[in-house]
Structure 1
């Protein structure tokens, strides 16, 4: 399966699979993001860019922007919008910027959790996830929903 089929875009506008303030549901990522947000951002950017940007490159650029401007959110809010478009998640650019400006850590951890809930192993990066899918037939991209249809 080629890279474009890894992420089926849902037909209807959806929502995030976790809440904005559910940071502590993944304590490991919460701690990493708190101490070194460039790592979480790099992981998210690599998956969202489908491997055209590496985790290291995105994380380094995020760090440089943060050091020179004090606002890595200038760069990271762009990826939130890009991710919303890929997965047809509701929201708008203004909301993305406000979330990243006022609570960068919650925004980054929410994006991380979203990709994880869509089947990505964030530690593997894009190429590792593509390889895993080819070897195991793991479907990535569809949201994970709890429960099912009931009558």
Structure 2
């Protein structure tokens, strides 16, 4: 018996080429002119703040000089899809970033916003809660 375990898939909140009236047109403009900014913001949020927007943006920009930025970017798209159970549409992540990197970045940015995260504000830590303490022995 072959049992495959897949995470349930949901759909992307926007299409690959959508630039609507909900503020995403500004994101599209910034991404077309300065994709390293949008990528850095996405990467910081997906890394849960472990890496900075600036560092990821510089790495992306450096890779742009040798036309390999899409290799770095598609790895983050894979993370996003895995995190939210998104399908590989319209083709695999590598091809999406290779063929239309700005469109992919806009879609990823919009997806994070749809999920309640705002990449333009960077990583915001989850609310502080007291640590969970294991039960202790009662004192007599």
Bucket of the pairwise TM-score, normalised by the shorter protein: 0.7 to 0.9
RMSD between aligned residues:
1.7
Extract unaligned runs of 5+ from structure 2: 1-6, 129-140
- The counterpart of 2:109, out of the listed 112, 124, 127, is 112
Name the structure 1 match of 2:79: 82
Name the structure 1 match of 2:44: 46
After TM superposition, the score normalised by the length of structure 2 is 0.79
After TM superposition, the score normalised by the length of structure 1 is 0.73
- The counterpart of 1:125, out of the listed 97, 122, 126, is 122
Shift in Å, 1:16: 0.8
- The counterpart of 2:16, out of the listed 13, 20, 29, is 20
SS class of match (2:57): helix
Question: How many residues are treated as equivalent by the alignment?
Answer: 119
- Bigger radius of gyration: 2
Shift in Å, 1:79: 0.5
- Report runs of 4+ in structure 1 exceeding 6 Å deviation: none
Which structure is higher in helix share?
Answer: 1
Extract unaligned runs of 5+ from structure 1: 1-10, 136-151
In 2: Cα distance, 1:41 partner to 1:51 partner: 14
SS class of match (2:93): helix
